[in-house]
């Protein structure tokens, strides 16, 4: 046996990556991200797209309450009516829109909003009495033009 025996080659199950240290240095998408946090982020995004039915239901209840209220005529705004109640992105906060019923009547929206703001507490008490919640919802009053369509 004069010929030297060659050592047996072991089969490799993976391909050798050249310059692996350079690959480890560069940042790639998803590096260092906890998979649990990634799943939570995906769930938050999907929940943001869902309509918030409880806020919409409460907005509808508030509109029903204030549409039967005589609050506007009590504060001297008998020519005005509630148009709609909109939930805002921040939960528990609503925008109540008010408009003049006479399209030809010239009104100053700034002065009307000031009157509404000054008497806001009375309306909040009426809403709190009718809506059975732990905390009365916070709202903002907005004057819209008289030709604003009733989109509820």
What is the three-state SS of 29-40?
Answer: CCCCCCHHHHHH
- Residue carrying structure tokens 């925008």: 95
Residues 6+ apart with CB under 8 A from 39: none
Residues 150 and 97: beta-carbon distance below 8 Å: no
Strand order in the sheet with 138-143: 80-87, 93-100, 138-143
* The CA-based dihedral angle spanning residues 70, 124, 95, 138, taken in that order and rounded to the nearest 10 degrees: -170
Domains along the chain with CATH numbers: 53-143 (3.30.300.20)
* pLDDT 10s digits, 28-77: 676 777 778 878 888 877 766 677 788 888 899 999 988 888 888 888 88
Residues 141 and 36: their CA atoms lie apart, in Å, by 42
Kindly report the pTM of this predicted structure.
0.62
Residues 129 and 72: beta-carbon distance below 8 Å: no
Percent of the chain scored above 90 by pLDDT? 9
* pLDDT 10s digits, 110-127: 888 888 889 888 888 888
């Amino acid at each position: 046996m004069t010929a030297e025996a060659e050592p047996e080659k072991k089969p490799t199950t993976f391909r050798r990556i050249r310059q692996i240290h350079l690959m480890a240095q560069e940042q790639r998408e998803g590096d260092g991200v906890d998979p649990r946090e990634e799943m939570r982020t995906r769930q938050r995004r999907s929940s943001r797209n869902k309509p918030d039915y409880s806020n919409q239901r409460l907005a509808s209840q508030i509109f029903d309450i204030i549409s039967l209220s005589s609050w506007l005529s009590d504060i001297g705004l008998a020519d005005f009516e509630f148009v709609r109640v909109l939930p805002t992105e921040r939960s528990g906060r609503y925008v109540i829109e008010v408009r003049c019923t006479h399209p030809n009547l010239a009104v100053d929206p700034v002065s009307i909003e000031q009157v509404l703001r000054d008497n806001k507490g009375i309306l909040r008490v009426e809403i709190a009495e009718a809506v059975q919640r732990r905390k009365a919802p916070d709202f903002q009053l907005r004057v819209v033009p008289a030709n604003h369509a009733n989109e509820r």
